[in-house]
Structure 1
Amino acid sequence: MKCDSHIHIYDRAFLKQTDAPGFVDHADVAAYREVQARIGTQRVVIVTPRIYGTDNAVTVDAIRQLGIDNARGIAVLHPDVTDAELDALHRGGIRGIRFTLYTAKHAAVGFEMVEPLAHRVAELGWHVQLHWTAGQLVEHRAMLQRLPCTMVFDHRARLPLQQGVNHEAFGIVRELADAGRAWIKLSGPYLDSADGLAGRYADITPMARAWVDAVPDRLVWGSDWPHVTETHKPDDLMLLDLLCDWAQDEATRERILIANPAALYGFAS
Structure 2
Amino acid sequence: MAPALTYDPNPSAPRLRLPAGACDAHVHVFGPAARFPFAQDRGFTPADAPKEALFALHRQLGIDRCVIVQSLCHGLDNRVVEDAIAAGGGNYLGVALLPLDVSDEELARLAGAGFRGVRFNFTQAPNPAFDVDRVVAFARRLEPLRMHLQVHFERGLIHELASPLSRSAVPVVVDHMARVDAAQGLDHPDFVALLALMKNPLFRVKLSGIDRITRDAGRDGYRAGIAVAQRLLREYPERCFWGTDWPHPLHDHVPDDGVLVDALERIAPDAALREQLLVHNPQRFYRFAAS
Normalised by the length of structure 1, the TM-score is 0.90
Shift in CA distance, 65/23, structure 1 to aligned 2, threshold 3 Å: farther
**2:5 matched residue in structure 1:** none
Residues 267 and 192 (structure 1), Cα distance of their counterparts in 2 relative to 1, 3 Å cut = same
User: Hey, what does 1:54 align to over in structure 2?
Assistant: 76
- Provide closer, same or farther for how the CA distance between residues 79 and 202 of structure 1 changes in structure 2, counting only shifts above 3 A: same
Q: Do 1:7 and 1:225's aligned partners in 2 also have CA atoms closer than 8 Å?
A: yes
Count of aligned residue pairs for this structure pair: 268
Aligned-partner SS, 2:289? coil
Secondary structure of the residue aligned to 1:74 is strand
Q: In structure 1, which of residues 243, 263, 267 is the aligned counterpart of residue 284 of structure 2?
A: 263
**1:113-171 per-position Cα deviation (integer Å, ceiling 9, x unaligned):** 31122111122111111112352111122202211110111111222224443244545
**Within the alignment, does 1:161 sit opposite 2:161 as a pair?**
no
CA deviation vs aligned residue, 1:45-104 (integer Å, no higher than 9, x gap): 00001012111111111101112x211101111111000110111111111111121454
Map residues 82-231 of structure 1 onto 2, 5 A cutoff.
82-104=103-125, 109-197=130-218, 200-231=221-252
Task: Tell me, in whole angstroms, the C-alpha distance in 2 between the residues paired with 1:17 and 1:82.
Answer: 21
Determine the C-alpha separation between the residues in 2 that align with 1:122 and 1:171. Answer: 29
Q: Residue 2 of structure 1 is aligned with which of 22, 26, 45?
A: 22
Is this contact kept in 2: 1:50–1:106, CA < 8 A?
no
Structure 1: runs of 5+ lacking an equivalent: none
Q: Give the aligned residue type for 2:56.
A: E
The alignment yields a C-alpha RMSD, in angstroms, of 2.5
* TM-score of the superposed pair, with normalisation by structure 2: 0.83
| 3-state SS in 2 of match to 1:97 | strand
Match of 1:43 among 59, 65, 74: 65
Is the alpha carbon distance of 1:71 and 1:198 closer, same or farther for their aligned partners in structure 2, counting shifts above 3 Å? closer
Distance 2:162 2:117 in 1: 20
Deviates further, 138-147 or 254-263: 138-147
Deviation at 1:188, TM superposition (A): 1.2
Report if the CA contact (8 A) 2:218-2:259 is conserved.
no
121 and 167 in structure 1: CA distance in 2 versus 1, 3 angstrom threshold: farther
Query: CA 1:65–1:104 in 2, change beyond 3 Å: closer, same or farther?
Result: farther
Q: Cα distance, 1:264 vs. partner? A: 1.3
The corresponding residue for 1:64 is 86
1:107 Cα offset (Å): 10
Does 2:252 align with 1:236? Answer: no
SS at match of 1:248: coil
Structure 1 distance, partners of 2:209, 2:181, is: 13
CA deviations on 1:162-208 (whole Å, 9 max, x unpaired) are 44432445455445544431111111122211324586212212211
SS of 2:111's partner is helix
Distance in 1 of aligned mates of 2:85 and 2:239: 24
Would the aligned equivalents of 1:100 and 1:107 in 2 still touch at CA under 8 Å? no
Counterpart contact for 1:119–1:148, Cα < 8 Å: yes
SS in 2 for 1:100: strand
Greater mean deviation of Cα atoms: 99-108 or 47-56: 99-108
Contact 1:174 1:215 in 2 (8 A): no
Structure 2: gaps (5+ residues): 1-20
> Is the 8 Å Cα contact of residues 153 and 185 (structure 1) preserved in structure 2?
yes
Q: Secondary structure at the match of 2:60?
A: helix
